Amino acid sequence: MLTLAFVVGAYLLGSVSFAVLMSKAFALPDPRTYGSQNPGATNVLRSGKKSAAALTLLGDAAKGTVAVLLAQHYAPENHLLIAAVAVAVFLGHLFPIFLRFKGGKGVATALGVLLALNLWLGLACLATWLLVALVFRLSSLSALLAALATPLYAYLFGLPNEYLQASVILSLLLIWRHKSNIQNLLAGKESRIGAKK
């Protein structure tokens, strides 16, 4: 029963969209109506309001971190529960019940989850994202390469098998959510970081 409560709670927390909340707080257009129409920090940045985008990024990452840290606190030895919570909060962001199951692409939330699962894992993924972003100025490419590297990092750091499996699930889901970006990248049409639409 406790496991179910944690998983459902994590999903509901993940369903909270900070992109929508911050856009309302800053009197910005709904992020689902412009740019990539994705309720995430990168799209909010296209509004030109950097503070709103930064708060969106922090909020989306924090909900992933909080969900996993709570599971670790109350069930520190239950790696399966912790991994399930990690996946649940991520699924909440991708398919939020509060937004008719049409959510963001999950980059910030995934980072928050990974930082909580293992600090070095999260930092390695963040470093990968930043390096690619600095070189190519493409958020989607940064996310895709970081996602591909995540399970490898989890394996190299010797994390529990449940964490490794969760990292694979998160990576596959994140790549799937970026399928339209992959098409744009191949066609040379992907928007660069900071570009307005």
Mean pLDDT by 10 residues, the chain (197 residues): 90 97 91 87 86 95 98 96 98 96 95 98 97 93 97 98 98 96 91 65
φ and ψ at residue 164, rounded to 5 degrees: -60, -45
CA nearest to 40, candidates 24, 25, 54: 54
Burial of 60 (0-12, 13-18, 19+ CB in 10 A): buried
Residue 47 has a pLDDT of: 87
SS3 23: helix
Residue 194 has a pLDDT of: 58
Single-letter amino acid, residue 142: S
Q: How many CB atoms lie within 10 A of CB 67?
A: 29
Residue 135 has a pLDDT of: 95
Residue 36 has a pLDDT of: 79
Angle at 97 between CA 94 and CA 101, to 5 degrees: 50
Q: How many CB atoms lie within 10 A of CB 75?
A: 16
Residues constituting the chain = 197
Buried b (16+ CB within 10 A) or exposed e, 7-43: bebbbbbbbbbbbbebbeeeebeebbeebbebbbbbb
Residue 77 has a pLDDT of: 95
Residue 196 has a pLDDT of: 53
Question: What are the domain boundaries of the chain?
Answer: 2-187
- Give the separation between CA 35 and CA 48, rounded to whole angstroms: 12
Token digits for 70? 């709570």
Residue in the structure block whose two tokens are 């994705």: 38
